[in-house]
Amino acid sequence: MLAASIRHLESDPHLGDFIRRYGPISHRRTHAPGVFRALAESIIYQQLSGKAADTICKRFRALFHGKSFPTPEDVLKIRVSRLRSAGLSQQKAAYLKDLALKCSDGTIEPKKFPSMTDAEIIEHVTAVKGIGEWTAHMFLMFTLKRPDILPTGDLGIQKGFKKLFGLKKLPSPEYMHRLAVGWRGHRTMASFYLWRFLDER
């Protein structure tokens, strides 16, 4: 899938030159975590620097002795005060409790994901408090490895479009979709390259 996307995008009149110069790019995660862990970590990492979030995530996992990561049932059983002791805010603790509940009661059904469209999965996971469209897009790209995701709410992607297309201001989601029409079917890989392109001096 990745190689096919790169071959398709190499011929793009806007992104192709950078792709040929940069070379192949691999998926950022070689081993995607399970659905509950991926969504729980996305909540923990929201609005924090990587270092601070890493520390809190380690403390969170340490609350559940002997486990690399807790189950939804584990999170449901633990007191909010214990979650707060790991450095989680009251709001994030509530979000994790809601995620655990929805993963336990069948609101979130990972077994259905293979037969669901991207839009259906976005609607599905945003039923959890604290999970919005951006988080859903990242989940689709990095955990489920869906090939055609364009995260228009991501500031880096917006800046990448502005730089690549020589725009005077950050584009709207609608305009980004129009500009990316030639990337259809491969917009996840295009997004990976846009992030790299933005970092290029």
What is the residue extent of each domain of the chain?
2-27+149-199, 35-143
Taking the mean position of all CA atoms in its chain, how far away is CA 2? 17
Catalytic site residue 154? yes
Candidate list 74, 105, 148, 154, residue with the active-site label = 154
DSSP helix/strand/coil, 201: coil
In the DSSP assignment, the letter for residue 143 is I
* pLDDT recorded at residue 30: 47
* Domain covering 35-143: architecture: Orthogonal Bundle (1.10)
Q: What is the pLDDT of residues 64-122, one digit of tens each?
A: 988 899 999 999 999 999 999 999 999 999 999 999 999 999 999 999 999 999 999 99
Q: List the alpha helices (DSSP H) in 46-172.
A: 50-62, 72-77, 80-85, 90-104, 118-125, 133-138, 155-164
Class for the domain spanning 2-27+149-199: mainly alpha
Q: What is the pLDDT of residues 13-56, one digit of tens each?
A: 999 999 999 988 865 554 557 899 999 999 998 877 778 889 99
What is this structure's pTM? 0.88
